Structure 1
Amino acid sequence: MQLCNTEDKTMAGSADEKRQTLLLRTKVAEQAEMYEDMVKCVKELAETGGKLSLEERNLLSAAYKNVVGSRRAAWRVVTALDQKKAEQEVDVSDSGRQAAKWLREKMVTDLKEFCGDVLTLIDKFLLPTAENQEAEAEVFYHKMKGDYYRYLAEISEGDEREDMVTKAKESYEKAYAKATTDLTSTHPVRLGLALNWSVFHYEIRKDGKEACRVANDAFNAALSGLDNLPEDSHKDSTVIMQLIRDNITLWTSEQENKGEN
């Protein structure tokens, strides 16, 4: 049974009633861990037009993060198996290789579909309601674009990969320019952006130095503003700061090990 159906007669009524029904179904789908249905509901909610509330933006992010995240994990597993076979670390039968190839191709197809879906949604329906109006939402959507182009860069090769890297970089830069101008250094959205922007440098661009610079700058700027942080934002901000700090420690150690070798 699908929670969201555009022809569902129970959603008849005013636009506000339809939005409330879709929002409720999105929440129920999340609680039931029916993430693909959650994506369908929140996508239709976004397509009804108008600004998304903070709660709705977070549900949008959670829906696609869960669906795309499971496929990224599967893609990494089968990619690792291919790598181990190439290094002759494991013995994989011909049928096993075919199965792994089939799953990898399926995950790539699914990832391209879902990433393309959310990118279109952002460009067509969400950014137009936020640009030059609401800084937090604008940063949020540009960051999301950067994230999903980054995911596409992970699974792409050659010119296609370079195109995804360029688009991710452009999206993160737009988000960062707006965030550093209009959001406080301790704002969770700005910190989340810094976290993912630094990961992009480290994992996609293979630039450990720039990754550490971005992470350090964000951490130090936020650290100086913690005393003035409202209590209701303190937990969210400090959790992200700890993730940034953990990455700095790991990346610095890896860079030092490379230098020794």
Structure 2
Amino acid sequence: MSALPTPYGYLAALACQAGSSNDMLDFVKAAYCENSPLAVEEHCLILMAYDKTTYRMRRAWRDIYSIENVEQREPRLSELTRRFRYHIQRELMEHCEHLISLVESYLLPTCTPESRPDQFVLYHRTIGDYARYMAEVSNENEQGKFLHRASSAYTIASRCSHVSLSPIDPHRLGLEVNLSVFRHDTLSRHSAVETVIAALLAARNHLRTSNDRPHQESLRILSLLHRNLETWLV
């Protein structure tokens, strides 16, 4: 990990990579309590590091869930596997809540749709993502509130991105990817396909009528949108 301009920003990103969300949150709180707010670049590095840890936790939950289904023929093993899955589930839920709390309390207040629309979109998309992750592993009684939380955050981000960001902006395109996945999983494949097609058409029309050249990251995300569309149309 490259050095960061402030000690707390460096420590927060380091804690993320170590999988310690409690320490990460403490370091960010300390930075703001001491009136040493983190730079936008540090916010992004922390979110990236957190995403890596979250990916590992979600994958672990899915793997254990698959094993649990296989062990149904042996009740004793199935019960042991289920208990372990619940343990991972609690850790993942707490992990997601920590990040949502961080974004809502410390990152979102640093920007507005007018001052930094890219960051405003990123932070609301992040809230939507982590609420979606919580919905994935929660029971039926709780799932609805997390899906509503995710939908609200994605809607706010989408409105801002369509007003203030270029159709080839990587933050807008990244949102379109995650929003389409959310709609695919919670609404319908048709809704997801519509979202992707609209994003691709907007990007193509923008490139035809402007001199803007897409970032490398934008090209990568556009390719991902195309792949998802091909998969969903099969």
Of 186, 201, 212, 1:229 maps to 212
Match of 1:248 in 2: 229
Output the CA distance in 1 between the equivalents of 2:30 and 2:151.
Answer: 26
Q: Would the alpha carbon gap of residues 111 and 190 (structure 1) be closer, same or farther in structure 2, given more than 3 Å must change?
A: same
Q: CA deviation at 1:65?
A: 0.8
Contact 2:128–2:150 (8 Å) recurs in 1: yes
Output the CA distance in 1 between the equivalents of 2:71 and 2:59.
Answer: 19
Residue 110 of structure 2 corresponds to residue 110 of structure 1: no
Letter in 1 for 2:215: H
- Tell me the TM-score normalised to structure 2 length: 0.86
Q: After superposition, give the CA deviation of every residue in 1:62-85 in whole Å (9 maximum; x if it has no partner).
A: 122122111100110111223334
Unmatched 5+ stretches in structure 2: none
Letter in 2 for 1:74: A
- Tell me the TM-score normalised to structure 1 length: 0.77
Match of 2:201 in 1: 220
Q: CA deviation at 1:136?
A: 0.9
SS in 1 for 2:166: coil
Of 60, 65, 71, 1:79 maps to 65
Q: After superposition, give the CA deviation of every residue in 1:211-256 in whole Å (9 maximum; x if it has no partner).
A: 01011111121123346334xx521001001111111100111xxx
Residue 121 of structure 2 corresponds to residue 170 of structure 1: no
Equivalent positions of 1:14-93 (< 5 A) are 20-26=6-12, 29=14, 34-37=17-20, 40-41=23-24, 44-45=27-28, 48-49=31-32, 52-86=38-72, 92=74
Match of 1:127 in 2: 108
Equivalent positions of 1:140-219 (< 5 A) are 140-203=122-185, 205-219=186-200
Output the CA distance in 2 between the equivalents of 1:151 and 1:178.
Answer: 23
SS in 2 for 1:124: helix
Which consecutive aligned stretches of 4+ in structure 1 deviate over 4 angstroms post-superposition? none
Q: After superposition, give the CA deviation of every residue in 1:38-75 in whole Å (9 maximum; x if it has no partner).
A: 87347623652376534212212112212211110011
Match of 1:259 in 2: none
Contact 1:47–1:121 (8 Å) recurs in 2: no
Unmatched 5+ stretches in structure 1: 1-17, 254-261
Larger Rg over CA atoms: 1
SS in 1 for 2:6: helix
SS in 2 for 1:36: coil
Deviates more, 1:215-224 or 1:164-173: 215-224
State the Cα RMSD in Å: 2.5
Letter in 1 for 2:155: E
| Identity among equivalent pairs (%) | 25
